[in-house]
């Protein structure tokens, strides 16, 4: 009886997340980079992840318009859209931290969230440039900072919106490493929302077992009131 060679179908190229799970070398390299600290390390992760993506041209944005965030096409446009949201979140937390409405552990958490959002900004700016695009200009924000409770409620809404925004673009991202980076940011936004939900006594999973995505027009319309 003659033996037959069984050919296994070619496996698709693994994305960064999958490689980190099964490849000890990649995992150790990532952990070493992550341990080097703060924005530079996360930015390096996104830049490295995006290195093989094809270059595209992004439309330069004005500071007063959210429409620019959705200009262009492909991964560059999505990264600039996310960057616009991260700019606003960073400015929001900076103003909350400076307001004096919070003290002690609560103030420390606000500062931590703000620092993490700023890290996201630097990472996404680097990603857009690496992809061959121009990072969208930073918009000017305006936020109703009146009381600790109202600020916390707004932060809860904004963080949930941010998580939904990333989820809404996940299926459209072409580069698997950029997708991994976007999901890494998405999970942090969701954890921020859960922390704030705990403080407010709100649901930690407002959409149930499966989070609901939000498309770009819906998100941009929601943030428009916060643009100066």
Domain-located, residue 53: yes
- Say if residues 171 and 179 touch (Cβ distance below 8 Å): no
Domain-located, residue 33: no
Q: How far apart are CA 103 and CA 219, in angstroms?
A: 31
Evaluate if residue 144 carries a pLDDT over 50: yes
| Residue 162 in tokens | 């941010």
Residue that wins the pLDDT comparison between 152 and 178: 152
Domain-located, residue 213: yes
Evaluate if residue 143 carries a pLDDT over 90: yes
Evaluate if residue 45 carries a pLDDT over 50: no
Evaluate if residue 69 carries a pLDDT over 70: no
At 27, the pLDDT band (50, 70, 90 cuts) reads: very low
Domain-located, residue 51: yes
Q: Which domain holds residue 217?
A: 39-226
Domain-located, residue 31: no
Total-model pTM: 0.69
Please provide the average confidence, as pLDDT, over all residues in the chain.
Answer: 76
Domain-located, residue 18: no
Res 73: pLDDT: 64
- Say if residues 95 and 143 touch (Cβ distance below 8 Å): yes
Domain-located, residue 134: yes
Domain-located, residue 10: no
Neighbours of 205 (CB within 10 A): 12
Kindly write down the DSSP assignment for every residue of 72-139, as one continuous string. Answer: S-HHHHHHHHHHHHHHHHHHHHHHHHHHT---HHHHHHHHHHHHHHHHHHHHHHHHHHHTT--PPPPP
Tens of pLDDT, residues 146-166: 999 999 999 999 999 999 999
Res 178: pLDDT: 76
CATH number at residue 184: 1.20.1260.10
Evaluate if residue 107 carries a pLDDT over 60: yes
Q: How many domains does the chain have?
A: 1
């Amino acid at each position: 009886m003659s033996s037959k060679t069984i050919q296994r179908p070619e496996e698709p190229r693994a994305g960064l997340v999958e490689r980190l799970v099964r490849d000890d070398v990649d995992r150790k390299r990532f952990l070493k980079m992550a341990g080097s600290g703060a924005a530079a390390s996360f930015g390096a992760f996104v830049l490295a992840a995006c290195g093989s993506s094809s270059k595209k041209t992004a439309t330069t944005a004005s500071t007063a318009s959210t429409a620019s965030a959705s200009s262009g096409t492909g991964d560059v446009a999505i990264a600039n859209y996310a960057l616009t949201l991260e700019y606003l979140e960073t400015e929001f937390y900076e103003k909350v931290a400076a307001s004096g409405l919070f003290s002690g552990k609560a103030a420390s958490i606000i500062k931590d969230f703000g620092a993490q959002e700023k890290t996201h900004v630097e990472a996404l700016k680097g990603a857009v440039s690496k992809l061959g695009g121009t990072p969208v200009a930073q918009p000017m924000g305006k936020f109703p900072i009146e009381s600790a409770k109202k600020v916390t409620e707004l932060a809860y809404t904004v963080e949930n919106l941010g998580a939904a925004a990333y989820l809404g673009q996940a299926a459209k991202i072409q580069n698997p490493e950029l997708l991994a980076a976007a999901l890494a940011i998405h999970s942090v936004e969701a954890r921020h929302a859960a922390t704030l939900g705990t403080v407010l006594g709100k649901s930690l999973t407002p959409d149930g077992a499966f989070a609901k995505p939000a498309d770009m027009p819906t998100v941009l319309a929601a943030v428009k009131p916060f643009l100066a």
